[in-house]
């Protein structure tokens, strides 16, 4: 090859390089969106009215790759050994709620029943309850999820539409938190229990003192079930045990009600309004409501109340207006039965509650 041809090839190569650079400058590559991770549980999206709760990769159903309701990425559908057997999800803690005694008793009851973790979505609460929850968080039994939804929206302050109005968001985003909790613990917990702060699911079967044992038994009998519904039964807190057997002096001055004294259970057991609460296998649930799962993969089993039920502790139960005065009246004891199921746990429950209250300096010294 002579020098003239060599210089010609070198000139073409050099010209090609300059032409490539020139084309790149005419069509610059678009910059990819920067990858940002929010450290907040609720993140406003710029220039929109939308709020991002969290993102979760869900590959269980074709066409549903992304759900904006969880906060952990799943590796797919492969089996993952869960960290916990049973997790309780409690949504919408708000206002100046300061029911320390009931909350402590409920948490310690769940510990006795085999619960490994309790998740609380906290918008706000009273100062004493805040100290209690911080103590449980440091211990690792409670996970506090900050839920400052009232900083972005005006949520309704109750679940009754007519009484509390629609707000920008129903009941502090109760449905969002329930679904978020399912996805949060989908790979971390074998079962997830969903209910409100004034409720507790208790096993009633003979020699049955463990929720995880009860659910394992039900699962063995119903291998295709992924949702277990428990009937809600009302325990009015305005009627207490007249014997004062568990009106303990060391709990005097602790704000809140004493669930060991609420032994009256409303006779009415048939709930036509669909009032149930649930224990679910989170990996078999796509979407839930408060009392029922909306989308799931397996079957639903309704637990007989003689095996387990929801104790719903609430204030004065209003009867229908009674003629001729048409004044609202609270339900009387004649419409209730005595139910002392919780007394069967008192020997372990009371020392556990005393220890928890003592950690935050709320246990009265006994002389």
The CATH number of whichever domain residue 261 belongs to comes to 3.90.550
CA distance 113 to 337: 24
Segment 341-359 shows an average pLDDT of 97
Tell me, yes or no, whether 36 lies in a domain: no
**Cβ-contact 88, 110 below 8 angstroms:** yes
Tell me, yes or no, whether 39 lies in a domain: no
Segment 248-259 shows an average pLDDT of 96
Give the 3-state secondary structure percentages of the chain, helix then strand then coil, rounded to 5. Answer: 30, 25, 45
Among the ranges given (36-45, 54-63, 133-142, 175-184), the one the predictor scored with the smallest mean pLDDT: 54-63
Tell me, yes or no, whether 37 lies in a domain: no
pLDDT band at 158 (very low <50, low <70, confident <90, very high): low
pTM, whole model, 2 decimals? 0.79
pLDDT band at 96 (very low <50, low <70, confident <90, very high): confident
pLDDT band at 61 (very low <50, low <70, confident <90, very high): low
Tell me, yes or no, whether 70 lies in a domain: no
Domain that holds residue 301: 76-359
Tokens matching residue 177:
């938190």
Crossing angle for the helix pair 127-139 and 100-112, to the nearest 10 degrees: 20
Segment 288-310 shows an average pLDDT of 90
Segment 110-120 shows an average pLDDT of 97
pLDDT by residue (tens digit) across 268-288? Answer: 655 545 689 999 999 999 888
Segment 161-189 shows an average pLDDT of 75
Tell me, yes or no, whether 276 lies in a domain: yes
- Of 156 and 82, the structure prediction assigns the larger pLDDT to 82
Residue 67, SS3 per DSSP: strand
- Domain count across the chain: 1
Residue 295: its pLDDT value, please? 87
Residue 140: its pLDDT value, please? 95
Segment 198-205 shows an average pLDDT of 94
Residue 55: its pLDDT value, please? 52
pLDDT by residue (tens digit) across 210-234? Answer: 999 999 999 999 999 999 999 999 9
Q: Does the pLDDT of residue 323 top 60, yes or no?
A: no
Could you tell me which residues are beta bridge partners of residue 228?
279, 301
Tell me, yes or no, whether 9 lies in a domain: no
Q: Does the pLDDT of residue 264 top 80, yes or no?
A: yes
Tell me, yes or no, whether 100 lies in a domain: yes
Tell me, yes or no, whether 194 lies in a domain: yes
């Amino acid at each position: 090859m002579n020098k003239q041809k060599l210089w010609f090839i070198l000139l073409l190569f050099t010209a090609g390089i300059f032409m490539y650079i020139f084309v790149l400058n005419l069509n610059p590559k678009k910059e990819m969106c920067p990858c940002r991770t929010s450290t907040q549980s609720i993140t406003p999206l710029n220039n929109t009215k939308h709020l991002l709760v969290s993102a979760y990769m869900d590959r269980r159903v074709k066409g549903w790759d992304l759900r904006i309701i969880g906060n952990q990425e799943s590796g797919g559908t492969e089996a993952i050994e869960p960290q916990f057997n049973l997790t309780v999800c409690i949504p919408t803690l708000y206002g100046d709620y300061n029911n320390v005694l009931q909350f402590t008793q409920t948490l310690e009851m769940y510990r006795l029943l085999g619960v490994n973790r309790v998740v609380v979505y906290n918008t706000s609460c009273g100062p004493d309850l805040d100290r209690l929850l911080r103590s449980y968080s440091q211990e690792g039994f409670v996970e506090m999820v900050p839920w400052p939804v009232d900083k972005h929206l005006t949520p309704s302050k109750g679940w009754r539409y007519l009484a509390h109005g629609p707000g920008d968001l129903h009941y502090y985003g109760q449905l969002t938190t329930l679904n978020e909790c399912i996805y949060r613990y989908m790979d971390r917990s074998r079962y997830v229990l969903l209910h409100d702060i004034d409720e507790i699911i208790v096993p009633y079967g003979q020699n049955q003192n463990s929720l995880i044992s009860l659910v394992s038994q039900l699962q063995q009998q119903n291998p295709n079930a992924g949702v277990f519904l428990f009937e809600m039964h009302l325990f009015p807190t305005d009627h207490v045990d007249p014997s004062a057997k568990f009106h303990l002096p060391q709990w005097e001055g602790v704000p809140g009600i004493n669930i060991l004294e609420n032994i009256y259970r409303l006779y009415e057991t048939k709930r036509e309004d669909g009032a149930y609460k649930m224990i679910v296998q989170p990996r078999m649930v796509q979407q839930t409501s408060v009392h029922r799962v909306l989308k799931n993969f397996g079957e639903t089993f309704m637990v007989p109340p003689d095996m387990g039920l929801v104790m719903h502790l609430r204030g004065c139960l209003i009867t229908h207006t009674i003629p001729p005065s048409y004044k609202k009246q609270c339900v009387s004891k004649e419409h209730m039965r005595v139910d002392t199921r919780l007394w069967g746990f008192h020997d372990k429950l009371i020392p556990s509650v005393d220890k928890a209250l003592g950690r935050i300096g709320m246990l009265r010294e006994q002389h």
